[in-house]
Structure 1
Amino acid sequence: MKKVLALIVATVMFMTFFMTYGFADDLITVKSDINNVTTNNKYFVISGNGQPDTYVELILNDNLNDKWVIGDTGLFAKLITLALGDNYVTLKAVKDGKVQTVKGHITLQYKDGIIQVTVDTLEGLWNKLFK
């Protein structure tokens, strides 16, 4: 009986620890691939989702590019203009004292580019922006 009680207490303590500290949800999730991407298009959309009321800063090449608060839908999409060569992107999310940083590296090979999005329906546009 003591072993069963000790096991129950240990299980409750273990679950409480991980629910509080171990597996907390991310403030934001970036759906766009921003990790070591090479492109010929100087325009790039960073999209994703996050917890409502999260404050987000988008830093491009060490300069504040945009800042916003995630709305009730939890979705976001931001258009950035890349410089020729290496571009370093940082998204810093803050909510209730919790801070999350997401970093990426995007290389622009050619200086000229246009926004190229081919869609057939509104659903297709939605999927392109928030895939």
Structure 2
Amino acid sequence: MGKSANKAGGRRLVTAAVVVVSLVIVVGCVVWFLRQDTASVGVISDQQYQAVKIGDQRSSVLKRLGAPAQGLDVSKFPPARSGQQCDYYSESGAVMDPSVFRFCFAGGRLVSKESSDELQQQPSPSISLSFPG
């Protein structure tokens, strides 16, 4: 009777371990799937950025690019002009410091677009001081 009780206890332990491992795998797959689904929101390629033209309607831009990103660091960009609504996207495929793309609309049409890379390439305004004498 001792051997059969040991076997039953061992089987229960193996069954419990299989259940736990299975649950971990299922939860991991669900989390991975959810991250994949949201990872592409607000992410576009440089080619997609280039294809959007001034004057395009916001509805067609959103249809082409999908929903804009949320929570990006947009502090590199100057404030939007009054009456403009700006959407931001992150660059796809970039591992380190991806570009941020900004599309600003007024009256439902694209009035400006710029990338954070373009802002970094612009020369800084220089200040020259002259003193009398």
Tell me if TM exceeds 0.5. Answer: no
What is the TM-score of this pair, normalised by structure 2? 0.31
Asked which structure has the greater RCO (Cα within 8 Å, sep 6+), the reply is: 1
Higher helix share: 2
What is the TM-score of this pair, normalised by structure 1? 0.32
| Larger CA Rg, structure 1 vs 2 | 2
